[in-house]
């Protein structure tokens, strides 16, 4: 009935805890298989996996990126539902069963997201909106962080408390419960996005095809957030900015794309750089410069 796809890259003990939580759920019999796509990890995360006949591990010989690895798992699945799950997520006892029951009762929903709690049991913003050029301008100027309700962030809906259920543009891929038929509507993830923005791009394709994404505030899971990329901050910054520019180039006008690029390379860099200097955070300043240097070399 349900295949779970997890993309792993040096997730350490997160992966083990994630998979164990799957089989501790109150209806684990709904799970057909847990497909772990490993992007050439160099840690012991795969060796820490519990032993279970439902677990399938695919080992890539290189890090092919999140989008491409997700597609590997999606194309392997023949179950009615697919759950895309981050390795740094932990399911509660009824997370899967509640998601399954909701989707069975609501044929108009193609993708279901749940309320994600951090390790302090606080609700975290996870849903995103489809951005416009001006939203990236607000973000580069820092306005979306100071007054998010007035100057909406480009994607992540930090201006909304996520305490009620509603239809949204995009639910986070940390927990994305989908009908297998969704790929007939929207296609698969665009593999030009190594990581970041691939879910947003996919959700836009789904909406354009008449599909819907729903956020359910009464279904919950735990999500650490950035658990697998916390040790590579400069690289993470490069990937995030690179994917932002790819999204803008794909979906915005030529003027919109160049506006986003200008604000990203100049205004945002200067704002970030000055803030870190004022704080005296030399380590993060170095990560900032390194991340932007990688961006300049690869754009």
The answer as to whether 134 is a domain residue is no
The answer as to whether 150 is a domain residue is no
The CA–CA distances, whole Å, from 41 to 13, 47, 59, 109, 173 equal 13, 11, 9, 35, 20
The answer as to whether 149 is a domain residue is no
Looking at the structure of the chain, the number of domains it has is 2
- Identify the pLDDT of residue 26: 81
**Domain C-terminal end among 196, 223, 250:** 223
Residue of 20, 177, 174, 7 whose CA lies nearest to 98: 177
- What stretches in the chain show pLDDT beneath 70? 226-231
Contact between residue 49 and residue 57 where contact means Cβ atoms under 8 Å apart: yes
- Identify the pLDDT of residue 145: 87
- Identify the pLDDT of residue 226: 59
- Identify the pLDDT of residue 176: 98
CA distance 245 to 223: 27
Which pLDDT tens digit goes with each residue over 59-116? 999 999 999 999 999 999 999 999 999 999 999 999 999 999 999 999 999 999 999 9
Residue of 170, 163, 4, 27 whose CA lies nearest to 89: 4
Residue of 48, 39, 36, 40 whose CA lies nearest to 12: 48
The answer as to whether 142 is a domain residue is no
Q: Are residues 215 and 189 in the same domain?
A: yes
Please tell me the pTM assigned to this model. Answer: 0.94
- Identify the pLDDT of residue 232: 84
- Identify the pLDDT of residue 227: 54
84 forms beta bridges with: 5, 176
Q: Are residues 210 and 240 in the same domain?
A: no
Q: Are residues 47 and 81 in the same domain?
A: yes
């Amino acid at each position: 009935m349900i295949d779970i796809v997890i993309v792993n890259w040096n997730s350490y003990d997160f992966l083990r805890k994630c998979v164990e939580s799957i089989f501790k759920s109150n209806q684990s019999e709904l799970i057909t298989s847990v497909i772990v796509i490993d992007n050439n990890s160099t840690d012991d995360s795969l060796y820490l996996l519990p032993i279970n006949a439902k677990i399938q591990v695919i080992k890539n010989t290189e890090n092919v990126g999140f989008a491409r690895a997700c597609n590997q798992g999606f194309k392997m699945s023949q179950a009615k539902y697919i759950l895309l799950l981050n390795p740094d997520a932990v399911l509660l006892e009824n997370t899967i069963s509640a998601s399954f029951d909701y989707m069975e009762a609501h044929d108009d929903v193609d993708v279901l997201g749940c309320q994600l709690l951090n390790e302090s049991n606080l609700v975290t913003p996870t849903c995103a909106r489809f951005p416009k050029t001006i939203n990236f301008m607000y973000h580069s100027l820092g306005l979306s962080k100071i007054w998010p309700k007035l100057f909406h962030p480009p994607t992540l809906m930090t201006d909304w408390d996520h305490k009620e259920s509603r239809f949204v543009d995009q639910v986070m891929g940390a927990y994305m419960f989908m009908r297998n038929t969704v790929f007939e509507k929207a296609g698969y993830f665009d593999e030009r996005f190594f990581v970041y923005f691939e879910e947003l791009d996919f959700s836009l394709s789904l909406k354009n095809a008449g599909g819907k994404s729903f956020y359910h505030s009464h279904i919950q899971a735990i999500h650490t957030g950035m658990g697998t990329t916390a040790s590579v901050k400069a690289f993470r910054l490069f990937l995030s900015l690179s994917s932002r520019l790819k999204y803008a180039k794909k979906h915005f006008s030529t003027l919109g794309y160049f506006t986003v690029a200008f604000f990203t390379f100049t205004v945002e860099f200067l704002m970030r750089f000055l803030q870190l200097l004022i704080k005296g955070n030399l380590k993060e300043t170095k990560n900032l410069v390194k991340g932007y240097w990688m961006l300049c070399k690869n754009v």
